[in-house]
Structure 1
Amino acid sequence: MLGDVIKINDFKNEKHVPTIDCPDKVEPNEEFEVDVQIGKEIKHPNTVEHHIEWIDLFIQYDDDPNTVHVGRYIFGPVVGEPHVKAKIKLTKSGTLIALSHCNIHGLWENTKKVSVG
């Protein structure tokens, strides 16, 4: 199962874990910025041999079993930094999920709860 291969860890101790920075609470349909980056505390190398290939952002609403895909951000080796910002609007509370892929160390995940209302 995919859940068996996705790694989680404290981003302060691990350079692969995506960090999610955004408000903890927003108003319904209020546009806000979500900042996702890899290596906030410990920089991730960005070389041809070792790099972050992509970051996916999802929202899992509290009252809905379906996960909504917000977007995918693709990075090439060397030039770009694995750091993205997205502007989104929520109508109800849920959990943001960031999933990233390192070409050597695989899949990494982090989550952040956002309350609406």
Structure 2
Amino acid sequence: MQSLGELLQTGDWKGEKHVPVIHIPQTIKKGETFQLKVSIGDEIKHPNELEHHIKWIKLYYFKEDGKFPVEIATFNFSSHGEAGVISEPVGCVDVKLNSSGFIYAMAYCNIHGLWENKVEIKLI
């Protein structure tokens, strides 16, 4: 049986419509709040319909000398065309960090499964 980690798919978000795109400022100061945004389909639009859609995105922070990741946020997308309502797979959260590390994003497509991406955070 595979571990969950073995089921996570990755790719270049510029060429793969399922990979979460993590948007952070170029400069992040220790202890100061910044906006962390995650989206799907920045370069190649992902379908957003009842039959094929992104169900959720989760964000995690892993401190550079940490033991385990800490969940930052979960964004659920529940409307995929029902009654003309569509929730786009984009989420924003304000975050304050005191140490450098990594931001991980994991997303779930109802047809193509789990996808991940990460960015390194270097605080000044």
| Counterpart contact for 1:24–1:113, Cα < 8 Å | no
Distance in 1 (CA, whole Å) between partners of 2:52 and 2:31 is 39
TM-score w.r.t. the length of structure 2 is 0.91
1:64 corresponds in structure 2 to 66
Judge conservation of contact 1:8–1:108 (CA < 8 Å) in 2: yes
Counterpart AA for 1:109: E
Report the Cα offset of residue 24 of structure 1: 4.0
Which of residues 81, 84, 89 is equivalent to 2:91?
A: 84
Q: Deviations over 1:45-74 (max 9, x none)?
A: 000000000000000110112110001100
CA offset at residue 40 of structure 1? 0.4
**Quick one: distance in 2 between partners of 1:66 and 1:12?**
29
Structure 2 match to 1:109: 116
Look up the match of 2:36.
34
For structure 2, the 5+ residue unaligned runs are none
Task: Calculate the aligned-residue CA RMSD, in Å.
Answer: 0.9
Distance 1:68 1:94 in 2: 11
Contact preservation (8 Å) 1:53, 1:102: yes
2:18 aligns with 16
Q: What TM-score do you get using the length of structure 1 for normalisation?
A: 0.96
Identical-pair percentage: 41
* 1:99 paired residue number: 106
Q: Residues 36, 107 of structure 1: CA spacing in aligned structure 2 closer, same or farther, 3 A cutoff?
A: same
Q: Number of residue pairs matched?
A: 117
Separation (CA, whole Å) in 2 of partners of 1:115 and 1:13: 26
Task: Quote the Cα distance in structure 1 between the aligned partners of 2:44 and 2:113.
Answer: 17
For 1:5 and 1:49, the matched residues in 2 are separated by 22
Partner of 1:45: 47
Structure 1 letter corresponding to 2:96: K
Which residue identity is paired with 1:16?
A: H
